Amino acid sequence: MAYVQDDHRAVHPVIPNRSIGLYFLLSFATLSLYHYWFMQQMVRDVNRICDGDGEQKTPSVGWMLLMSILTLGAYQYLWFAHIADRLYNNAQRYQVDSVQDGEILCMWMILLPGVGAAVAMALMIRDVNHIVQAYNAEQAAVRSRHKRSGERSSEDAKYTVPHKKGTSRGSDLALGGLLGLAGSYKNTKIPLKAGEQLVLGRDPKQAGLIIEGQKISRVHCVVEYKGFEQGYLVTDCSRNGVQINGRQIEPRVPAQVKCGSKLMLPGGEAVFRFL
C-alpha cells in the first residue's frame, strides 16, 4: 500500500518568517556557531513539512559535520542539495512557485566561493519561508476542522452533495469527507462516514460524485474514509491518473492519505481537500 503524506500529528506551527538578515548578522557575530544551530532548526522543520514524500529524512547537522570531515568537505554539498531538492519536490504539493532545486544552489556555492554560498543560503531561507507559510495555513485549517467536529453547521447542510442511492448516510454526523477547492464543486462539502466509499467519475450510473471532463474516466477513482486516525484510501481506476499533494499515485493500488491532503484530477477539472 502506497503511503501519501500529510501527517496530522504535527499540527503545531513550524518556525515562520526566518530572517535572512538576522541569520547573517548572528552567524558573523558568533563565528558561525549560530549558523549550525539555525540549520539544525531548519532541517527539523523541512523533515516535518516534507514528511511522507517518499524521501529519507535529511540527516542532522551533527551527521553532516562528521561526514564532511570524512569526505574532506564534499558531503556538505550533497547534504545542502538534498534539502533544496526536497523543498523543490514538495513545492507543488503546497502550491508554492519559484523554489530553487539543489543543482542551482550548489552551482552558486561552487562557482562563486563565499559570495555564492551566501546567495544560496538566502535563496533557501526564502524558499523555506514560502513553504512554511503554506504548511502552517494547511495545519490551521485541519485544527479548525477538528475543533468544529462536534457541531453540524447550517452552512454544511446548505452545501452538502447528495450521495448516490444505496450509500449509508443515516442521521449521524459525517466525520470526514471532501471539500471542493476548484472546479464545479468549489466550496462544496461532501461528507463521508467511517467505512463509506465514494466513486468519482463521469458516469452517472456508477459515480456518486459526477465529474465532467475529457480526461475524466467513467469511474475515475474511489475514495474510502477509514476514520480520523487512518485517514482515507484512494484507488486510481482511471487512464489519466490521480494526484495526491501533486504526486501521481500508483494505478489500482489503494493509497493511504491523511486528512488535509489534496486530491487533484487531470486537467484541473476538480481539486478537493480531504477533511
Q: Supply the pLDDT for residue 140.
A: 66
Burial 83-113 (b: 16+ CB within 10 A, else e): bbbbbbbbbebbebeebbbbeebbebbeeee
Domains plus CATH for the chain? 2-145 (no CATH), 154-274 (2.60.200.20)
CA distance 202 to 218: 5
Q: What is the pLDDT of residues 185-236, one digit of tens each?
A: 888 888 888 888 899 988 888 888 888 888 888 889 999 998 878 889 999 9
Of 85, 127, 132, 130, residue with least CA distance to 104: 85
CA distance 93 to 85: 14
Q: What is the pLDDT of residues 37-83, one digit of tens each?
A: 999 999 999 998 888 777 889 999 999 999 999 999 999 999 999 99
CA distance 245 to 273: 10
Residue that is written with C-alpha cell 448516510 in the block: 169
Residues in CB range of 54: below 8 A, 6 or more apart: 247
